[in-house]
Amino acid sequence: MSFADLGLMPELLKAVTDAGYAEPTPIQAQAIPIILAGKDVMGGAQTGTGKTAGFTLPLLQRLSRHANTSPSPARHPVRALILTPTRELAMQVHESVVTYSKHLALRSVVIYGGVDMRAQMEQLRLGREIVVATPGRLLDHVEQKTVNFGAVEVLVLDEADRMLDMGFIPDVKRILALLPKERQSLLFSATFSEEIKRLADSMLRNPQLIEVARRNAAADNITHRVHPVAQDLKRQVLAHLIKTQDLGQVLVFVATKFGASRLAHYLGRMGISADAIHGDKSQQQRTEALEAFKAGRVSVLVATDVAARGLDVEDLPQVINFELPHTPEDYIHRIGRTGRAGKSGTAVSLVCAEERGRLAEIEKLLKRPLEQVKLEGFEAGAEFKEPLERGKRGRTAAHGSTPPAPAPRGAKPGREPRRGPPPPAARAAPARPGATPDFDWRKPYEPAPDSFIEPPLPIPPRPGHKPRRQIAALLGGLPKKNE
């Protein structure tokens, strides 16, 4: 099977050859012809198996009939929208769009928060067919009327289950309400829970479900290892593992932003070059930390779940869970930063007695036990072997048949820090059948306090520009569209 067999046009075949891809991965082989045929797709495939090219290549081909080199912005309306949960992932997906579209006259832009809006506004004003964005900042542009979705033909939700969970669904719903109803929608992720799949199904038209492996499977070229350790010895164990394994690069996941910074400092004091990436850092610091890690200038990156999804660090040999994540899907995504593009990788987890419930949930999702290796001198106490109490197994009761309890806006792991907790009106909103319980469909969008616009920008009048409507009317008046 070759890329040419999938019906891709010469410009895209040249781009994949330039990228060094010899043949399509299984998800690419299955998804590309179906997306080219214009169908809605929900695509699940393990981490690191090329889902990005799986949706981007056919998307570019479908837009190629609009390719043109005219300088007129009117000839370059937004035709495709790709949404991602984090800024770093938006940047990376945009890089892929640029790579795969380099022989086509299509323009793209990446839109994310934490940086000045003006450069983004200027690019949007000049006309861009493809917008890769995080939802919050995209809504800031909607509010500023610097983006128009009237000509959108394709919508992609990368990390779709994350985009449709409690932390993102309100913003995503608001964006969906602004898109033409007649469009192609593509949802991709390495994990889909049943409830997310049901919610997604209701958003799609006769969706084609493509699953190249059992749902929620971890990539099979990753070796998992659990070290049962005492909680108070974890830092020493981590430093010991990093020093003795001589791995070059290690991505370490922790539970909190504060914990990430503190652990990076500790490793620094131990003579290990380490930096941290989390939502409380400025975007510049986040970008610099990730770039230094990718370039090998820093050997350990300590991260919150902001780095769990989608990020592609070439040849990363090992991921360490300093703490286990609260949901087993996050384990699959975190460890999926290694063992990508056919390479092998190791996923190490330091697990203390209090985390046995989470470990049990992960093993349940993976449908197999993970190998436990004792580290001499650092072992967990006898309580690690004690049977788990009822009710302490893994996630809270909220998980499973119902979605997890809502977190304040901006407080979810991986979510861009942008707004405060929801106003009381949103919390009091009655849930509709099939709707996410706490989402208030009537609530108008509120601009972010941290939109990085100072002072208010003069928006240049455009020819034929209609008088501005209140954003509340624009968005609050549309809730029915999306049901």
Ligand X SMILES: Nc1ncnc2c1ncn2[C@@H]1O[C@H](COP(=O)(O)OP(=O)(O)OP(=O)(O)O)[C@@H](O)[C@H]1O
Among 136, 310, 336, 414, binds Mg ion (CB under 5 A): 310
- Residue 218 DSSP SS3: coil
Site string for ligand X, 28-57 (x = CB under 6 A): x----------------x-xxxxxxx----
Q: Which of 368, 404, 334 has its CA nearest to residue 159?
A: 334
Strand order in the sheet with 345-351: 222-228, 345-351, 318-321, 250-253, 300-303, 274-277
Q: How many CB atoms lie within 10 A of CB 404?
A: 18
Query: Which lies closer to ligand X via its Cβ, residue 252 or residue 435?
Result: 252
- DSSP run (H or E) holding 252: strand 250-253
Shortest distance, position 54 Cβ to ligand X, whole Å: 7
Distance between CA atoms of residues 262 and 276, nearest Å:
9
Distance between CA atoms of residues 311 and 93, nearest Å:
9
Residue 242 binds: one of Mg ion, ligand X, none (C-beta under 5 to 8 A by kind)? none
The answer to the question of residue 114 lying near ligand X (CB under 6 A) is: no
Burial string for 282-320 (b: 16+ CB within 10 Å, else e) reads eeeebbbbbeebbeeebbbbbbbbbbbbbbbbeebbbbb
Shortest distance, position 87 Cβ to ligand X, whole Å: 15
Residue 190 binds: one of ligand X, Mg ion, none (C-beta under 5 to 8 A by kind)? ligand X
Residue 133 binds: one of Mg ion, ligand X, none (C-beta under 5 to 8 A by kind)? none
- DSSP run (H or E) holding 382: none
The answer to the question of residue 50 lying near Mg ion (CB under 5 A) is: no
The answer to the question of residue 25 lying near ligand X (CB under 6 A) is: yes
Beta strands 274-277 and 108-111 are unpaired
Measured CA to CA in angstroms, residue 460 lies from 141, 144, 373, 457, 470 at distances of 14, 11, 64, 9, 18
Site for ligand X in 188-207 (CB under 6 A): 190
Measured CA to CA in angstroms, residue 53 lies from 16, 357, 459 at distances of 9, 37, 36
Among 255, 341, 370, 478, binds ligand X (CB under 6 A): 341
Site string for ligand X, 293-312 (x = CB under 6 A): -----------------x-x
Token pair of 341, please? 């593009």
The answer to the question of residue 336 lying near Mg ion (CB under 5 A) is: no
Shortest distance, position 284 Cβ to ligand X, whole Å: 24
Piece of the chain touching ligand X by CB under 6 A; list 61-69, 251-259, 333-341, 427-435: 333-341
- Residue 41 DSSP SS3: strand
The answer to the question of residue 58 lying near ligand X (CB under 6 A) is: no
Q: Give the dihedral sign, CA 290/292/293/299.
A: negative
Piece of the chain touching Mg ion by CB under 5 A; list 49-57, 252-260, 276-284, 457-465: 49-57
Shortest distance, position 31 Cβ to Mg ion, whole Å: 12
Q: Residue count at the site for Mg ion (CB under 5 A)?
A: 2
Shortest distance, position 283 Cβ to Mg ion, whole Å: 21
Site string for ligand X, 151-190 (x = CB under 6 A): ---------------------------------------x
Q: Residue count at the site for ligand X (CB under 6 A)?
A: 18
Q: Summarize as ranges the residues that interact with ligand X (CB under 6 A).
A: 21, 24-25, 28, 45, 47-53, 190, 310, 312, 336, 340-341
Under the rule (CB under 5 A), what is the footprint of Mg ion? 51, 310
